Amino acid sequence: MQALTERAKLVDRKPMTFVERLYLWNIFKGMIITFAHLFKKKVTVKYPEQKREFSPVFRGLHILNRDSEGRENCTACGLCAVACPAEAITMEAAERKPGEEHLYREEKYAARYEINMLRCIFCGFCEEACPKDAIYLTETFAPANFKREGFIYGKPDLLIPHPKTGQ
């Protein structure tokens, strides 16, 4: 049978020598590696005083975006929930009522929008799938919490503040 890739490597099945059976050489090599790490520069960051720089493609907490007038961009199309491989996003759609034109951009909006951060793998597929640029991942960490319920972010937690009123 031919290998599918050219990365196949033949394994040498020759019997081990007496020194190899004692494993002393392997233990000695491991100790050399351990002692070499003692003299290397420490990689620990002293967090409050010193901030770590992140990659420009770092993906953190989710944010639901608004337009310049403060209306929600999300139209509850469900593409972000379908694209999520971890099934962390749940939403319920609702119809906009007369008089709510200042709250929602389209006729349909997300009445309930939740992200379970315990399931989220921060892949960014929800951001790529959204046709209205309603959701994006920021450069902030997900904060720690003591209870599982604290990791389920609802719509009030995810919406950015209103650009005019600040709420």
Give the mean pLDDT per block of 10 residues along the chain (167 residues).
70 84 87 92 83 85 89 90 94 89 85 93 94 90 87 91 71
Token reading at 130: 């959204």
120 is in an annotated binding site: yes
77 is in an annotated binding site: yes
Q: Is residue 166 part of a domain?
A: no
pTM equals 0.68
165 is in an annotated binding site: no
158 is in an annotated binding site: no
The amino acid occupying position 33 is I
CA gap 76, 147 in Å, rounded:
28
CATH number at residue 137: 3.30.70.3270
Contact call for residues 66 and 128 (beta carbons, < 8 A): no
pLDDT at 120: 94
pLDDT at 128: 94
149 is in an annotated binding site: no
pLDDT at 81: 94
Range of the domain at 139: 62-158
pLDDT at 55: 86
pLDDT at 1: 55
70 is in an annotated binding site: no
Number of domains in the chain: 1
Q: Is residue 77 part of a domain?
A: yes
pLDDT at 147: 92
Q: Is residue 153 part of a domain?
A: yes
CA gap 132, 126 in Å, rounded:
11
130 is in an annotated binding site: yes
Q: How far apart are the first and last CA of the chain?
A: 65
Q: Is residue 2 part of a domain?
A: no
pLDDT at 112: 93
Q: Is residue 43 part of a domain?
A: no
Q: Is residue 154 part of a domain?
A: yes
160 is in an annotated binding site: no
* Mode of pairing for the β-strands spanning 152-153 and 135-137: unpaired
The amino acid occupying position 166 is G
Q: Is residue 92 part of a domain?
A: yes
The amino acid occupying position 111 is A
Q: Is residue 36 part of a domain?
A: no
